[in-house]
Structure 1
Amino acid sequence: MAQQAAVLQGCNNEVVRCLEDLCLRRDELARQIRRDEEERERLRRDVRALGERLERVSGSLARKAEARDELDKILAETDAAYVKILDSFRALLSVLKQEAGALSKTAVLESNVT
């Protein structure tokens, strides 16, 4: 009977060691789970913040692109108007040169007549 008690005590000790080992494993897994949950929550906050930032940047880009397009339109219209002004100046210069030439010829002719 003493031998059976010793075997029983040995089995009991082994069961206790196995239970302690399982408890240690469970505690380690619980720590890992808490750490992973904290990281998951941090990543969710980061994703949310990045999503908000992406929306702000996208809105800003859209407004800036619209402003650029408007400036491109204004520049094109201004350039076209400037070309028309240059053409008008050239035409005016040509007319002035012709009139000046005609006046010079008239002045020369009148000075030759006297």
Structure 2
Amino acid sequence: MEFCPTCGNMLQFELPNMGKSSRFFCPTCPYVSYLENRVKIKRKQHLVKKELEPIISDDDMKNAAQTEATCPNCGFGKAAFIQIQLRSADEPASTFYKCMNEDCRQNWRED
């Protein structure tokens, strides 16, 4: 969406017609902006994903209580868990689990 630099109204688009290139024009004043037919991208910006910090660290899980919960990754029957209130007070707490199997150590959560 483009706006007229002189009066501030929204510019309208006109398709190319009879050899004229496409353009933006203002319906209230004589402002016209012609568009080039070919647009070149001179530089591409590569996006880098930001590293996410875990909500619960391994130190938090060392002191956590253990329960009988089945790991969805390996099926092991014991897991450490911590409950944290992430949403409003009238919603239930979120439970974070960590598998106690030394080969797995999978993290998962239940809301």
Answer yes or no: same fold by TM over 0.5: no
| Bucket of the pairwise TM-score, normalised by the shorter protein | under 0.3
TM-score normalised to structure 2 length: 0.20
Larger CA Rg, structure 1 vs 2? 1
More strand by share: 2
More helix by share: 1
TM-score normalised to structure 1 length: 0.20
